[in-house]
Structure 1
């Protein structure tokens, strides 16, 4: 999977997606989402790296079965809050 991080003074965001999704446009009954390389395609990383980054994140944007499953496993994403585009899961995580 690809992982890209973004830092500001107060926040640390992790964007992660399964590699095969880069460049695709995913749809559901309400909207569509383009998986832009410029946003998601950072470094190739393992699930262990993503887990570590998610535990530090204040925000996360995750697309794909592997990326979302990792966030569910870490218990930062409730599986009931995952939405689907076609059969691809997407999850957002925020801390307040």
Structure 2
């Protein structure tokens, strides 16, 4: 998985994670293109434990891919029914208020 933690002063952090096989892929959602790139999701791969730790501490998260979404579901952060499918790929956003 790829992982990047965006730290926003005064607003906390946003964890972005995606499955490895999705990097530099463009998915279609109707007429909207969703480009998965290293600029947002990072350029370094991370272990499952590293992604798990980042998600556990995240104020917000943006995740895409079967593997990373399954990890968030197994952690109890989201339910499968709360995910949307983009071109057959599960995507979720998590917000802690």
* Greater Cα offset, 38-47 or 61-70: 38-47
Q: How does 1:36-75 map to 2 (within 5 A)?
A: 36-75=37-76
In structure 1, the gaps of 5 or more residues are none
In the other structure, the counterpart of 1:3 is 3
Hey, what does 2:33 align to over in structure 1?
32
Matched residues, number: 96
So what's the TM-score if we normalise by structure 1? Answer: 0.90
Kindly report the root-mean-square deviation, in angstroms, between the aligned alpha carbons of the 2 structures.
1.4
| TM-score, normalising length: structure 2 | 0.89
| Unmatched segments (≥5 aa) in structure 2 | none
Residue 56 (structure 1) shift: 0.3
Quote the Cα distance in structure 2 between the aligned partners of 1:30 and 1:46.
34
